[in-house]
Amino acid sequence: MDSIGPVGLQQGEGAPCYPQESLPCPSDSSELVQECLRQFKVTGAQLRQIQASLLSSMEQALGGQVSPASAVRMLPTYVGSTPHGTEQGDFLVLELGATGASLRILWVTLTGTEGHRMEPRSQEFVIPQEVMLGPGQQSTLISWTKGFRCSGVEGQDVVQLLRDAIQRQGAYSIDVVAVVNDTVGTMMGCEPGVGPCEVGLVVDTGTNACYMEEARHVAVLDEDRGRVCVSVEWGSFGDDGALGPVLTTFDCALDRESLNPGAQRFEKMIGGLYLGELVRLVLAHLAQCGVLFGGCTSPALLSRGSILLEHVAEMEDPSAGAARVHTILQDLGLSPGASDVELVQHVCAAVCMRAAQLCAAALAAVLSHLQHSREQQTLQITVATGGRVFERQPRFLSILQETVMFLAPECDVSFIPSLDGGGRGVAMVTAVAARLAAHRRLLEETLAPFRLNREQLAAVQAQMREAMTKGLRGEASSLRMLPTYVRATPDGSERGDFLALDLGGTNFRVLLVRVATGGVQITNQVYSIPECVAQGSGQQLFDHIVDCIVDFQQKQGLSGQSLPLGFTFSFPCRQLGLDQGILLNWTKGFNASDCEGQDVVCLLREAIGRRKAVELNVVAIVNDTVGTMMSCGYEDPHCEVGLIVGTGTNACYMEELRNVAGVAGDSGHMCINMEWGAFGDDGSLGVLSTCFDARVDQASINPGKQRFEKMISGMYLGEIVRHILLHLTSLGVLFRGQQTQCLQTRDIFKTKFLSEIESDSLALRQVRAILEDLGLPLTSDDALMVLEVCQAVSQRAAQLCGAGVAAVVEKIRENRGLEELTVSVGVDGTLYKLHPHFSSLVAATVRELAPRCVVTFLQSEDGSGKGAALVTAVACRLAQTACV
Ligand code: BG6
Ligand code: GLC
């Protein structure tokens, strides 16, 4: 596109004139100018159209749908975390492509202290043209853009090429840790504004953006947790033709003459490498049509690359003044008149305004995607901006901001310029990777003692088995193996109306249980037991219980009737008969005085006596495990084990009477309340107990007691997690090392949070919500780690519980001399029922450790009160039979 010859009007002395006709020229000159400028106008509707089509192309690419001329690439960068502010160390950064034909080397020192920044040292090297276009022995590069075109590099791993080059030089020891897109560097180097800095936007030679995406949305990643930074690669948007309506004849000419025709169409309308060229093409066209420079061109005006971004920026800047524009044009060999200068300014402004608006449409697509996928009413976010277009053209940012507000009004965006041209951010990526690796090591070390292998679990099973045998024989054992005087499960012939009490779980209940031919009908009411009553005097506690019964009788119209009563009392009792139970010691949160060593049925009868108006006939006292087994046994005759995993944990099962020391008789069975919560109180669990278990135990109301229960049940798991979180915070692994008052508060971390946090249906976002409600200032890495802590703690609990069940079912099988035992376990308890994985982990452990037992777990639907009523019913039936 060089000169043809000096024809036409000559404007200044000595100034050559080069008119040329390459584009059609409308006849009327002002119409021609308007037409040119109009081409660069993009309407609001067109911008919305671009926003929508880019959004849909982003979502398609994320979903793994590759269209033939895929519009955007959405490349995961494997950067999974934004900076903490605690990163430290020395890092070298090579920046290729950021500032055009140069290579910048930066030495960045991070101090690890927020607000304490050390200026990086940097040096820039020019890359000669022959190197940029020559052979490429210089990440897998997909394609070159922005004027680079070295051979043998596309499709290669850039890190490996760099390592090879370092090797070829010898003498250096440099570890290449990360290859980072400039947008990622921009995002990572930015200090957060109103919201976290999770978008990086670069408009330099080229343009692109990156942002933090939920990993589960990125189909190519086999990962459903956490976030990953995705490079949108929006420069290639429109390569499939989507930009058709806004493309000008100048865009088409520019593309045709570029190094990569047909590619990077969006970038060619926005990137700094192209803005000057667009302006040049328009000016050349207007000159050739005789509208500018008196119809004269110059060799410079007709040569590719003669107008640079810097020129456009200066000419477009209204404050620059006509003189400066004049000089620039003169340097191009042109002789502008006053009206030419004004017109050139208009052209520059139109080209730049369009670039900023298009860029805004693309950014708005990213922001609305984020707002949608995070389900936020208002997305508060910081966008880090970088690149020479922002630096040189202040108006670019203001147009961008205005247009983003128009296109994505539901996003509250603060724009923050990146520091050190993104180089600091690249160092940050490396530093964050180093921090994450160190934190992961510390997390793994902390959780390692919670990860039990098969041998450890088999050892627990064997110890449990030995303790069972000793306990049954009446020898010293941490398992008390208490006879319950329940000798049979229901046979279905029981009938009548019964009262039942259920004390010791989360709720205290009074029930009316009607056992009839058609089944069992239950009416119940929950009453609260305030902590001051549970830990007050025994008399106060039992008076409160009787008050609740009276209230229930009145409400049910049962006053004056003396129904047989079954009492589920979920604490260790030495029973001397069905209706006699000496409380051995309180467990869980109870500690009422003057009860231990007393017969609980007597304490209840005395309280009834104090309340003269009521008459109650207490027939049976049962543990909740027994009530649960009986309740499930009514439906399934194979149910011979009862298991509770709730506030506390315990199990009971049907043992051969001949094995039970201290109870007369050698034939038949008796249900044994194992009180397995106390397993290990003799120190036998010592090797498995972690320092966190020790802390929970020490802070409890019964230190040294119920050690197995304290590793398994709902009353304690949240506390174990809290102590681990405190420890990880003190190591700086969590919550940026900031200890909060909240986390120091006992019982603040409820066990139900474990169930909620581990629930598959809840995204990590909700995990964050739970923790934020607790006042914990967390990042998404923190949320992931908290999840892992919860998983480790609940998995150990479930596996220990499974080892216990395996010991029980194996004992039943051996008692009966069976090759294979089919048995059901009735289960109750909030942890077992609400936790998403607990039950399947228990079952898996039992399958592994007791392979010769076919175990079915039945969840008790009606609570153990129904079982207590059934025990009472059986006792009444037997008593009646005895009278006949
Ligand atoms: C209930 C039973 O359903 O579960 C109680 O009726 C038992 O007897 C309780 O104690 C155990 O679970 P949690 O979670 O309430 O302690
Ligand atoms: C505690 C009690 C026990 C009860 C269990 C479950 O371990 O000591 O009796 O069965 O909690 O509630």
Give tens-digit pLDDT for 156-181: 666 667 667 766 766 555 555 566 77
- What's the average model confidence in pLDDT over 275-283? 96
| Cα gap 442→462, rounded to integer Å | 32
Q: What is the DSSP letter of 178?
A: -
Amino acid at 701: I
Q: The tokens of 214 are what?
A: 């939920």
pLDDT of residue 169: 67
For residue 129, name the pLDDT band (cuts at 50, 70, 90).
low
Bigger pLDDT: 734 or 769?
734
For residue 878, name the pLDDT band (cuts at 50, 70, 90).
confident
Positive or negative torsion for Cα 182, 184, 189, 193: positive
Strands 821-828 and 639-645: parallel
Which of 484, 628, 644 has most ligand 2 atoms within 8 Å of its beta carbon, as the pocket-test mutant? 644
pLDDT of residue 884: 42
- Are 770 and 737 a contacting pair, CB within 8 Å? no
Which of 571, 585, 643, 676 has most ligand 2 atoms within 8 Å of its beta carbon, as the pocket-test mutant? 571
751 lines ligand 1 (CB under 6 A): no
- What's the average model confidence in pLDDT over 397-406? 97
Determine phi and psi for 624, rounding to 5 degrees: -65, -30
Residues 6+ apart with CB under 8 A from 212: 82, 198, 199, 227, 228, 229, 230, 780
| Cα gap 510→544, rounded to integer Å | 12
Ligand nearest to the CA of 801: 2
pLDDT of residue 447: 98
What value does the mean pLDDT of the chain take? Answer: 87
865 lines ligand 1 (CB under 6 A): yes
Query: Which residue is listed with tokens 């044009």?
Result: 329
| Cα gap 824→636, rounded to integer Å | 8
pLDDT at 110 > cutoff 60: yes
Helix, strand, coil shares of the chain as percentages rounded to 5? 45, 20, 35
pLDDT at 318 > cutoff 90: no
Mark out the alpha helices in 573-662 (DSSP H runs): 600-610, 624-633
Is 570 assigned a catalytic role?
yes
Q: What size, in residues, is the chain?
A: 884
502 lines ligand 1 (CB under 6 A): yes
Bigger pLDDT: 205 or 843?
843
User: Counting atoms of ligand 1 from 1, which one is nearest the CA of 863?
Assistant: 6
Which of 585, 675, 700 has most ligand 2 atoms within 8 Å of its beta carbon, as the pocket-test mutant? 675
811 lines ligand 2 (CB under 6 A): no
pLDDT at 444 > cutoff 90: yes
Query: Which residue is listed with tokens 């390692």?
Result: 448
Question: For ligand 1, atom 3, which residue shows the shortest CA distance?
Answer: 863
- What's the average model confidence in pLDDT over 642-670? 95
506 lines ligand 1 (CB under 6 A): yes
489 lines ligand 1 (CB under 6 A): no
For residue 495, name the pLDDT band (cuts at 50, 70, 90).
confident
Query: Which residue is listed with tokens 């409400």?
Result: 555
588 lines ligand 2 (CB under 6 A): yes
Rounded to the nearest angstrom, the distance between the alpha carbon of 714 and the centre of ligand 2 is: 12
714 lines ligand 2 (CB under 6 A): no
Ordered DSSP codes for 144-156:
--TT---BT-BTS
Q: Please give the C-alpha separations between residue 416 and each of 85, 88, 162, 200, 413, in angstroms, as whole numbers.
A: 17, 23, 32, 10, 10
User: Counting atoms of ligand 2 from 1, which one is nearest the CA of 505?
Assistant: 12
Alpha carbon 238 to chain centroid distance?
Answer: 34
371 lines ligand 1 (CB under 6 A): no
Angle subtended at Cα 751 by Cα 748 and Cα 752, rounded to the nearest 5 degrees: 105
pLDDT at 267 > cutoff 60: yes
Q: Please give the C-alpha separations between residue 790 and each of 306, 741, 755, in angstroms, as whole numbers.
A: 63, 20, 9
Question: For ligand 1, atom 4, which residue shows the shortest CA distance?
Answer: 829
714 lines ligand 1 (CB under 6 A): yes
| Cα gap 19→8, rounded to integer Å | 7
pLDDT at 309 > cutoff 50: yes
Q: Mean pLDDT highest for which of 92-96, 139-143, 186-190, 455-459? A: 455-459
- Are 354 and 397 a contacting pair, CB within 8 Å? no
Rounded to the nearest angstrom, the distance between the alpha carbon of 110 and the centre of ligand 1 is: 54
Question: For ligand 1, atom 12, which residue shows the shortest CA distance?
Answer: 829
Rounded to the nearest angstrom, the distance between the alpha carbon of 871 and the centre of ligand 1 is: 17
Q: What is the DSSP letter of 455?
A: H
Please report, rounded to a whole number, the percentage of residues in the chain having pLDDT higher than 90: 61
Query: Which residue is listed with tokens 């995204």?
Result: 763
Which of 502, 509, 529, 623 has most ligand 1 atoms within 8 Å of its beta carbon, as the pocket-test mutant? 502
830 lines ligand 2 (CB under 6 A): no
- What's the average model confidence in pLDDT over 357-372? 97
Q: Which of 182, 502, 624, 681 is catalytic?
A: 624
Residues 6+ apart with CB under 8 A from 879: none
- What's the average model confidence in pLDDT over 303-307? 94
For residue 317, name the pLDDT band (cuts at 50, 70, 90).
confident
Please report, rounded to a whole number, the percentage of residues in the chain having pLDDT higher than 70: 87
DSSP-based three-state secondary structure for 77: coil
pLDDT of residue 128: 62
Q: Which of 368, 570, 755, 839 is catalytic?
A: 570
587 lines ligand 2 (CB under 6 A): yes
Rounded to the nearest angstrom, the distance between the alpha carbon of 647 and the centre of ligand 1 is: 7
Rounded to the nearest angstrom, the distance between the alpha carbon of 723 and the centre of ligand 2 is: 24
Q: pLDDT digits over 233-256, tens only?
A: 999 998 888 898 899 999 999 999
pTM metric for this prediction: 0.76
pLDDT of residue 273: 92
For residue 18, name the pLDDT band (cuts at 50, 70, 90).
very low
- What's the average model confidence in pLDDT over 201-230? 88
For residue 21, name the pLDDT band (cuts at 50, 70, 90).
very low
Q: Which helix or strand (DSSP H or E) is residue 192 part of?
A: none
pLDDT of residue 2: 33
Is 509 assigned a catalytic role?
yes
- Are 186 and 385 a contacting pair, CB within 8 Å? yes
Q: How many distinct helices (H) and strands (E) make up the chain?
A: 29, 22
Q: pLDDT digits over 811-868, tens only?
A: 999 999 999 999 999 999 999 999 999 999 999 999 999 999 999 999 999 899 999 9
830 lines ligand 1 (CB under 6 A): yes
- Are 726 and 696 a contacting pair, CB within 8 Å? no
- Are 335 and 296 a contacting pair, CB within 8 Å? yes
Bigger pLDDT: 15 or 462?
462
Which of 649, 676, 707, 827 has most ligand 2 atoms within 8 Å of its beta carbon, as the pocket-test mutant? 649
Q: Which helix or strand (DSSP H or E) is residue 95 part of?
A: strand 88-97
